[in-house]
Structure 1
Amino acid sequence: MAVIQRFVIHELFKDKKPDIATDLLDLDNSIILDLATQLIKIKENRTAVLWGQFKENRDFPKGLIDLNNEVDESKRSNLFLSLTNATMQSLHKEINHTNSKGGYICFIEYGSYNDTRFMAAMIKNTAGIKLTNLKPTKEIHVDLSKLHQAVDVNTSGYLKSLNGNYEKNYLSFIGKGKDTDYFANAFGCIDRITPARAVNKAPIVLRDFLTQFKVDNSSLKNARAQLVKYLSDNIDKEVHLSKIEEIAVSYLPDTCSQEEKESFLAFSKQEKYEMPATFQARKDNVNKLANIYYSTEVFNFNFNQDKIGLVGSSSDSNKPILFNKETNDVIIKGEMITLEVKEAIYQATLLNNNKIDINERS
């Protein structure tokens, strides 16, 4: 559960100076505290999230370091307010190159699972929101669709990364496009989830999600095969996490609750997965998922994973390639051996026999 520590709202305009609040919001006010809490929950529920890190030598991360080096709470609040003020100037500079009109920028410092975090999010004025002098004055209902851009930083992780003790991504952001990139740019964010990594992670996320519901091995294999087919059918095109969710849900036991069936997206956004909402199905990486390639000095093979089964498994009895776990033998069924392959093997056998004969005569 998030513990809100500091909260302030400024207003960003494209065509004039930002409207800057001079004081932090009073967190003893239940309306104000509820807004901050809702914003964090909405951010956590968004699927179109990118994960990354800071670009080097940017002003915002430098200010974040100064903020977290301050232990005096009063001085820290002043530094927080100064940092948000400076960031508003950066946002104003960046937004002038876009068609975006701006909105209310909410800055929140909060604690979560023993980590200190910093979040900035833009919301639009709606019927459920009334801000007077940049302060909420009535009950607020923030619609999920109104969170247009957001940046959330695991400050603790960022500080650890400076000492080489944290190699994971420590920030996430919402909003990537022609008229929304300005928000991430103002904070110095850079996307670090490559298409290759997303493709490689996809079957792992699918397997881990289904395994927690004790899905049997046969279903796990079928789910993986369906995922690989989806990726293979869309080589070098954009694929969607929502489609992978459909595959996952189709293999869940009937005993699963509706809440469990709707938990895949949140599961895939965990720190160890960090799956983006969309990504490119990179050909090389998809091919590696679809095939098993192995090479030694003696032999090499390249098998389609969907064609391989286990000896003794009734569901694999029709597979053309079987693996015997007890003897470590790979069995290639006769129909897989074409006339050309047979002839090549026969000729190689003759050559080997000839070599043996020569050695014997010597």
Structure 2
Amino acid sequence: MSTIQRFVIHELFKGKVPDKASELLDLEHDIILDLAQQLLKVKDNRTAVLWGQFKSNADFPMNLKELNAELPESEQDKVFFDLTISTMDALYDEIVHTNSKGGYICFIEYKSFKDTRLMAAMITNTAGIKLTNLKPTKEIHVDLSKLHQAVDINVARYFLSLKQGYTKNYLSFIGKGKDTDYFANSFGCINKTTPAKAVAKAPRVLKDFLEQFEADHETQKSARSQLVKYLSDNVNKEVHLTKINEIAIAHVPESCTEEQKQSFIEFSKQDDYEMPATFYAAKNSVDKLAKVYYSGEAFNLNFDLDSIGLVGIEADSNKPILFDQESDDVIIRGQMITDDVKEAILAAINLSDKDDSSTT
């Protein structure tokens, strides 16, 4: 569970000077705290996310540098509040060039996995929300479809990026289109998403997700096999994180709660994975997952991973290729050797009938 540290809501509508709050919201009120937590949960479960960094000369990251955890609490409050105010001005300058109508801009500073993060999100026409002087005053139900734009920054990692040698992404954003670009532009975001890497990451995120629930080895193998088949069946096409989510859910142990079973999307968007909603299943990348390549001085191996199993494992007993972990032998079963292959092998070692007859 994320720990909410600061929260404020401002109002932004096209053609109208922004209505800015006069102070931070009081997190002691359950309604306010619940709204912040719901917004984070909505953001975590959105699939259409891009990862990136800041433009070096953008105003927002320059101001973000002032958000220093070493300052006294009251000064941190002021720096955060001032940052949201200046950002509202940038949003107002950008929105006039779009067809977006605007909405309520929610700024949340929170702790997650020991890192300080900051999220800014726009919500519009949210069912159940009533704002009085930009303060929630009744029960709130955040509608997933109403979170149109959001930016989420790992502030701790951003500060690391200011030091030499750290080049990883430290922010993500929702909203990419002619009427939503202005939101990310206001924060100075640059898209650094590299979908090609997602193919290589997909098996790792699936494995790590199942391991946290102590899924057994066979379950993990089955999940990986289904994932690789899905990618292989869609080589050089666009594939979807929602489909991988289905594979993950199907392999989560029955002992897990429904919330745990439905947590793959959120898990896959952690900073270590950064899985995009869709990505291109390039053949070269998929082949690296689906096949085993080995090239030595004496021979080359090239076979599908699904074709190989381990000696002594009952579930692998019908595999055409077996690996003996004790002797390090690779066993290729006889049915895999066709007559053409046999003749080629015998000819190569001078044992074929043709070669014998030529020497008489």
TM-score by length of 2: 0.85
Question: Per-residue deviation at 1:194?
Answer: 1.9
Which secondary structure state, in structure 1, belongs to the residue aligned with residue 65 of structure 2?
A: helix
Kindly provide the amino acid, as one letter, of the partner of residue 39 in structure 1: L
Q: Residue 94 of structure 1 contacts residue 186 of structure 1 at CA under 8 Å; is this kept in 2?
A: yes
Tell me which residue corresponds to 2:93.
93
Tell me which residue corresponds to 2:321.
321
Q: Point out where structure 1 has 5 or more consecutive residues left out of the alignment.
A: 352-362
Tell me which residue corresponds to 2:125.
125
Give distance in 2, aligned partners of 1:76 and 1:214: 41
Tell me which residue corresponds to 2:59.
59
Question: Per-residue deviation at 1:277?
Answer: 2.9
Tell me the matched-pair count. Answer: 351
* 1:105-133 Cα shifts (integer Å, max 9, x gaps): 11122334443221111011345222234
Give distance in 1, aligned partners of 2:222 and 2:189: 38
Instruction: Tell me, yes or no, if structure 1 residue 229 matches structure 2 residue 229.
Output: yes
Tell me which residue corresponds to 1:195.
195
Change (3 A) 1:218 1:34: closer
Question: Per-residue deviation at 1:76?
Answer: 3.7
Change (3 A) 1:126 1:97: same
Tell me which residue corresponds to 1:10.
10
Give distance in 2, aligned partners of 1:35 and 1:121: 12
Question: Per-residue deviation at 1:290?
Answer: 0.7
Tell me which residue corresponds to 1:332.
332
Instruction: Tell me, yes or no, if structure 1 residue 80 matches structure 2 residue 80.
Output: yes
Q: Residue 198 of structure 2 contacts residue 279 of structure 2 at CA under 8 Å; is this kept in 1?
A: yes
Tell me which residue corresponds to 1:37.
37
Question: Per-residue deviation at 1:103?
Answer: 0.8
Moved more, 115-124 or 69-78: 69-78
Give distance in 2, aligned partners of 1:297 and 1:189: 50
Q: Residue 238 of structure 1 contacts residue 281 of structure 1 at CA under 8 Å; is this kept in 2?
A: yes
CA RMSD in angstroms comes to 2.8
* 1:37-64 Cα shifts (integer Å, max 9, x gaps): 3323332343433333223222111110
Give distance in 2, aligned partners of 1:344 and 1:78: 79
Which secondary structure state, in structure 2, belongs to the residue aligned with residue 286 of structure 1?
A: helix
Kindly provide the amino acid, as one letter, of the partner of residue 145 in structure 1: S
Give distance in 2, aligned partners of 1:75 and 1:321: 66
Kindly provide the amino acid, as one letter, of the partner of residue 313 in structure 1: I
Q: Residue 322 of structure 2 contacts residue 331 of structure 2 at CA under 8 Å; is this kept in 1?
A: yes
Moved more, 136-145 or 303-312: 136-145
Instruction: Tell me, yes or no, if structure 1 residue 263 matches structure 2 residue 254.
Output: no
Give distance in 1, aligned partners of 2:70 and 2:219: 53
Give distance in 2, aligned partners of 1:318 and 1:69: 60
Q: How does 1:132-147 map to 2 (within 5 A)?
A: 132-147=132-147
- Identical-residue share of aligned pairs (%): 67
* 1:182-231 Cα shifts (integer Å, max 9, x gaps): 22222122343422221112112222333344434333322211111111
Give distance in 2, aligned partners of 1:250 and 1:2: 27
Moved more, 57-66 or 170-179: 170-179
Change (3 A) 1:290 1:188: same
Question: Per-residue deviation at 1:338?
Answer: 3.4
Tell me which residue corresponds to 1:297.
297
Give distance in 1, aligned partners of 2:284 and 2:20: 50
Tell me which residue corresponds to 2:273.
273
Change (3 A) 1:264 1:28: closer
Give distance in 1, aligned partners of 2:298 and 2:153: 51
Moved more, 77-86 or 322-331: 77-86
Question: Per-residue deviation at 1:65?
Answer: 0.3
Question: Per-residue deviation at 1:2?
Answer: 3.8
Q: Residue 148 of structure 1 contacts residue 175 of structure 1 at CA under 8 Å; is this kept in 2?
A: yes
4+ residue runs of structure 1 moved beyond 6 angstroms?
none
Q: Residue 60 of structure 2 contacts residue 187 of structure 2 at CA under 8 Å; is this kept in 1?
A: yes
TM-score by length of 1: 0.85
Tell me which residue corresponds to 1:354.
none
Give distance in 1, aligned partners of 2:285 and 2:267: 23
Which secondary structure state, in structure 1, belongs to the residue aligned with residue 327 of structure 2?
A: coil
Kindly provide the amino acid, as one letter, of the partner of residue 121 in structure 1: A
Moved more, 41-50 or 292-301: 41-50
Tell me which residue corresponds to 2:149.
149
Moved more, 241-250 or 101-110: 241-250
Q: Residue 129 of structure 1 contacts residue 140 of structure 1 at CA under 8 Å; is this kept in 2?
A: yes
Change (3 A) 1:58 1:235: same
